[in-house]
Amino acid sequence: AKAFPHIRARDARAAMEELPELKEVARNQDRYGRLWELVEGLDALPRGIAMHPCGVLLSDAGLMDRTPVMPTSGEGFPMAQFDKEDVEDL
């Protein structure tokens, strides 16, 4: 089977006009219009979790009392599940 080409979520509408596999979907905008709005919105969401190499949290309480944490691979340090902007508000 032929592999479907990789398309970034933000380029979904443009791909409908260009790819033969999606031209039929493009003709049914009234049926699928909201779906493509949601697909494009997915592009801004994070795809993975990573530890910032210089991010260190300092607090007057234990990390587990301030933020949800998850274990990291390798070093075994706990990693805060908040992003850098939200952590600053703590």
Strand (E) or helix (H) holding 7? none
* pLDDT grade for 2, boundaries at 50, 70 and 90: low
Domains contained in the chain, number: 2
Q: Are residues 70 and 88 in the same domain?
A: yes
Side-chain half-sphere exposure of 45, counting CA atoms within 13 A: 7
Partners of 79 in the β-ladder: 70
> What is 31-59 written as a DSSP string?
HHHHHHHHHHHGGGS--S----TT-----
Greater pLDDT, 2 or 20: 20
Encode pLDDT of 6-55 as tens digits.
Answer: 888 888 888 888 888 778 777 877 887 788 888 888 887 777 777 767 77
pLDDT of residue 12: 82
Average pLDDT over residues 65-87: 80
19, part of any domain: yes
Q: Are residues 16 and 38 in the same domain?
A: yes
Q: Are residues 88 and 60 in the same domain?
A: yes
83, part of any domain: yes
Residue type, 23: K
